[in-house]
């Protein structure tokens, strides 16, 4: 899907967002993503963008935790907003080489609204392509992780889970005892000993004459 075929209200929002992003330091590309890029958009869909930052400036974004954006002031249709994330140039290039399945899917149909870096333009169409030569290796790695998790949750953690359940039950019993003791303390306060808090509290309460109604 091309930018020219985007609905008019989405087009206006994306254009405003592109101009705002382009004014920020180190932005070398603004990419259209999400449902608008895939052509499965609804009239009230949000506009998803990816802002690519040059590698030299990226540490500044990280230091400032400037990693995402959500703007509601750029849309002129009900329920609309613009959201997105910042990624370094190296991330885009690396995703084309060995991106994970979720990463590759997130770049499906993504295209640049603006780009000043040819390497980003070249990498974009390569990211969604599944590396068939690595299929068996990825399947083996997935199955190995699955077996490890199965072993951990069914066997290795069995004793730990039982211990946690016992600890939770013990803690709950302790809380019940504390709560019961506090109820006893409040209704039958003593003047001394470890349960004298409510006694002092009641003395303070009765020392004030003008309490607010229903205090």
Domains of the chain: 3-133 (3.30.460.10), 158-207 (no CATH)
Query: What CA–CA distance (Å, rounded) separates 74 from 10?
Result: 10
The answer to whether 121 and 32 have CB atoms below 8 angstroms apart is: no
pLDDT tens, residue by residue, 40-69 = 888 989 999 999 999 999 999 999 999 999
Q: In what order do the strands lie in the sheet with 68-71?
A: 68-71, 82-88, 47-53, 27-33, 111-115
Question: Binning pLDDT at 50, 70 and 90, where does residue 166 land?
Answer: low
Total-model pTM: 0.65
pLDDT tens, residue by residue, 171-194 = 777 777 777 666 665 555 555 444
Length of the chain in residues, anyone? 215
pLDDT tens, residue by residue, 103-127 = 988 999 999 999 999 999 999 999 9
Q: What is the DSSP string of 168-204?
A: HHHHHHHHHHHHHHHHHHHHS--SSSTT-HHHHHHHH
Q: DSSP 3-state assignment of 57?
A: coil
Which two structure tokens, joined as six digits, stand for 62?
Answer: 């990280």
């Amino acid at each position: 899907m091309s930018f020219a075929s985007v609905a008019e209200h989405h087009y206006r929002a994306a254009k405003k967002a592109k101009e705002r992003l382009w004014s920020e330091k180190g932005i070398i590309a603004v990419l259209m993503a999400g449902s608008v890029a895939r052509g499965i958009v609804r009239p009230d869909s949000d506009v998803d963008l990816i802002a690519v930052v040059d590698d030299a400036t990226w540490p500044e974004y990280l230091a400032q935790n400037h990693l995402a954006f959500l703007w509601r002031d750029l849309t002129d249709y009900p329920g609309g907003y613009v959201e997105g994330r910042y990624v370094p140039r190296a991330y885009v290039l690396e995703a084309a080489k060995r991106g994970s399945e979720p990463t590759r899917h997130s770049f499906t149909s993504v295209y640049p609204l603006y780009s000043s870096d040819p390497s980003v333009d070249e990498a974009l169409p390569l990211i969604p392509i599944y590396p068939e030569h690595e299929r068996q290796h990825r399947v083996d790695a997935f199955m190995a992780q699955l077996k490890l998790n199965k072993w951990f949750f069914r066997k290795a953690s069995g004793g730990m889970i039982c211990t946690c359940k016992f600890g939770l039950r013990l803690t709950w019993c302790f809380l019940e005892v504390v709560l019961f003791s506090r109820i006893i303390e409040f209704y039958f306060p003593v003047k001394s000993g470890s349960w004298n808090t409510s006694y002092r509290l009641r003395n303070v309460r009765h020392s004030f004459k003008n309490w607010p109604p229903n205090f």
